[in-house]
Amino acid sequence: MKTIIEPFRIKSVEPIRLTTREERAELIAAAHYNLFNLNANDVIIDVLTDSGTSAMSAAQWGGLMEGDESYAGSPSYYRFEAAVRELMPFDHIIPTHQGRAAERILMGIVADGDAHIPNNTHFDTTRANIEATGATAVDLVIAEGKDPASQHPFKGNMDVAALQDFLEAHHAQVPIVMLTITNNSGGGQPVSLANIKAVKAVCEDFGVPLIIDACRFAENAYFIKLREDGYADWDVADIVREMFAYADGMTMSAKKDALVNIGGWLALNDDRWAEEARNQLILTEGFPTYGGLAGRDLEAIAQGLKEIVREEYLAYRLASTRYLGEALVEMGVPVVEPIGGHAVYIDAKGLLPHIPPLQYPGQALAVELYLTGGIRGCEIGSVMFGKQPDGSEQPAAMELVRLAIPRRVYTQSHVDYVIECFEDIVERTDELPGYTITHEPRQLRHFTAHFAPVA
Ligand code: F0G
Q: What is the distance in A from the centroid of ligand 1 to the CA of 95? A: 16
* pLDDT score recorded for residue 2: 87
**Mind listing the pLDDT tens digit for each residue in 337-357?**
999 999 999 999 999 999 999
Of 255, 285, 345, the residue with max ligand 1 atoms within 8 A of its CB, to mutate for a pocket test, comes to 255
CB 16 within 8 A of CB 376: no
* pLDDT score recorded for residue 185: 86
Q: What is the distance in A from the centroid of ligand 1 to the CA of 121? A: 13
* pLDDT score recorded for residue 75: 98
Q: What is the distance in A from the centroid of ligand 1 to the CA of 187? A: 13
At 186, is the pLDDT very low, low, confident or very high (cuts 50, 70, 90)? Answer: confident
- Decide which of 3.40.640.10, 3.90.1150.10, 2.40.50.220, 3.30.450.20 is the CATH code for 21-50+310-453: 3.90.1150.10
CB 200 within 8 A of CB 211: no
Q: What is the distance in A from the centroid of ligand 1 to the CA of 98? A: 9
Rg (CA), the chain: 22
- Order of strands across the sheet with 177-180? 92-96, 264-268, 249-253, 210-213, 177-180
* pLDDT score recorded for residue 385: 86
141's enclosing H/E stretch is none
Over residues 314-320, the mean pLDDT reads: 96
Task: Between 454 and 185, name the one with better pLDDT.
Answer: 454
Over residues 246-275, the mean pLDDT reads: 98
Q: Exposure string (b/e) for 360-374, b if CB count within 10 Å is 16 or more? A: bbbbbbbbbbbbbbb
Of 48, 49, 100, the residue with max ligand 1 atoms within 8 A of its CB, to mutate for a pocket test, comes to 100
DSSP state of 172: G
How many angstroms separate the CA atoms of 140 and 157, rounded? Answer: 9
Helix and strand numbers, DSSP H then E, in the chain: 16, 14
Whether pLDDT at 233 is above 90? yes
How many angstroms separate the CA atoms of 158 and 141, rounded? Answer: 4
Strand, coil or helix: what is 273? helix
Domain locations in the chain as residue ranges: 21-50+310-453, 58-308
Q: What is the distance in A from the centroid of ligand 1 to the CA of 225? A: 24
CB 64 within 8 A of CB 299: yes
At 361, is the pLDDT very low, low, confident or very high (cuts 50, 70, 90)? Answer: very high
| Nearest protein Cα to ligand 1, atom 19 | 49
Q: C-alpha distances in angstroms, 445 versus 33, 83, 357, 438, 440?
A: 13, 38, 16, 11, 6
Over residues 149-157, the mean pLDDT reads: 95
Q: What is the distance in A from the centroid of ligand 1 to the CA of 51? A: 7
* pLDDT score recorded for residue 389: 75
| Nearest protein Cα to ligand 1, atom 11 | 99
State the closest ligand 1 atom to the C-alpha of 102, by its place in the atom list counted from 1. Answer: 14
Which residues form the pocket of ligand 1, taking CB atoms under 6 Å from any ligand atom? 49, 51, 98-100, 123, 125-126, 180, 184, 213, 215, 253, 255, 264
CB 351 within 8 A of CB 429: yes
Over residues 65-78, the mean pLDDT reads: 97
According to CATH, the topology of domain 58-308 is Aspartate Aminotransferase; domain 2 (3.40.640)
Q: What is the distance in A from the centroid of ligand 1 to the CA of 279? A: 24
* pLDDT score recorded for residue 134: 93
**Mind listing the pLDDT tens digit for each residue in 194-217?**
999 999 999 999 999 999 999 999
Q: One fold for both 21-50+310-453 and 58-308? A: no
User: What crossing angle do the helices spanning 412-426 and 361-373 adopt, rounded to 10°?
Assistant: 120
Residue 389: Cβ-neighbour burial (10 angstroms; 0-12, 13-18, 19+):
exposed
| Nearest protein Cα to ligand 1, atom 5 | 184
* pLDDT score recorded for residue 148: 85
* pLDDT score recorded for residue 443: 78
How many angstroms separate the CA atoms of 263 and 254, rounded? Answer: 5
As a whole number, the mean pLDDT across the chain is 96
Task: Please give the share of the chain, as a percent, with pLDDT higher than 90.
Answer: 93
At 138, is the pLDDT very low, low, confident or very high (cuts 50, 70, 90)? Answer: very high
| Nearest protein Cα to ligand 1, atom 8 | 99
**Mind listing the pLDDT tens digit for each residue in 72-128?**
999 999 999 999 999 999 999 999 999 999 999 999 999 998 999 999 999 989 999
Q: What is the distance in A from the centroid of ligand 1 to the CA of 316? A: 22
* pLDDT score recorded for residue 187: 87
State the closest ligand 1 atom to the C-alpha of 125, by its place in the atom list counted from 1. Answer: 10
CB 253 within 8 A of CB 301: no
Whether pLDDT at 179 is above 80? yes
Q: What is the distance in A from the centroid of ligand 1 to the CA of 18? A: 29
